Amino acid sequence: LESPKRPTEKPLRIPINDVYKIEGFGTVAVGRVETGVLKKKANIVFAPGNIKSEVSHLNAPLQIEVANPGDNVGFNVKVRANDIKRGCVAGDAMIDPPKEVDEFLAQIVIVNHPGTSRKDTAQLLTAILLTLPVNSRKSKLKLTEELEP
């Protein structure tokens, strides 16, 4: 069984899961490296907010020098703990930094729904770390029938 190829060549993206303020150590952001490579001393930016910092320590769970896609990491940054929060995305400040968007296109697959889903109903959509209320009247949802396997 071969391991899947990790997307190390893509831009760095780390959705932030938690942020801790540790006395004597500073602010620690915790997340999973989705794409790219995070290195100690890297200049990163958090979106939204365009908050820039340098990674001073990198832990997963021991102190490491490099974090690859799939690694859950905690990294020390020199920002206030309340400036970044769960749902922010960290990326490289110089090479294709993460940016805010007004809209995005997504493919949604409803695996198990207890009733019916119509265009006039409101759903709750969970995507990676974010939970978003979706109003199907305002969104451009294209509902299709589920095919039986």
Question: Tens digits of per-residue pLDDT, 51-73?
Answer: 999 999 898 777 788 899 989 99
pLDDT over 70, % of the chain: 71
| In the predicted structure, residue 140 carries a pLDDT above the cut 70 | no
pLDDT surpasses 80 at 112: no
**Residues 9-16: what's their mean pLDDT?**
92
CA dist., res. 65 & res. 121, Å (int):
48
Cα separation of 116 and 121, whole Å?
9
What are the backbone angles phi and psi of residue 23, rounded to the nearest 5°? -60, 130
Residue 147 — very low, low, confident or very high, per pLDDT cuts 50/70/90?
A: very low
The pLDDT value given to residue 149: 45
Average pLDDT for residues 35-47, to the nearest whole number?
Answer: 92
Kindly report each contact of residues 14-18 with a partner whose C-beta sits within 8 Å and lies 24 or more positions away, as own/partner: 14/38, 14/73, 14/89, 14/90, 14/91, 15/87, 15/88, 15/89, 15/128, 15/129, 16/46, 16/84, 16/85, 16/86, 16/87, 16/88, 16/89, 16/90, 16/129, 17/86, 17/129, 18/86
Residues 96-102: what's their mean pLDDT? Answer: 84
> At 131, is the pLDDT very low, low, confident or very high (cuts 50, 70, 90)?
very low
pLDDT band of residue 24 (cuts 50, 70, 90) is confident
Residues 48 and 100: their CA atoms lie apart, in Å, by 6
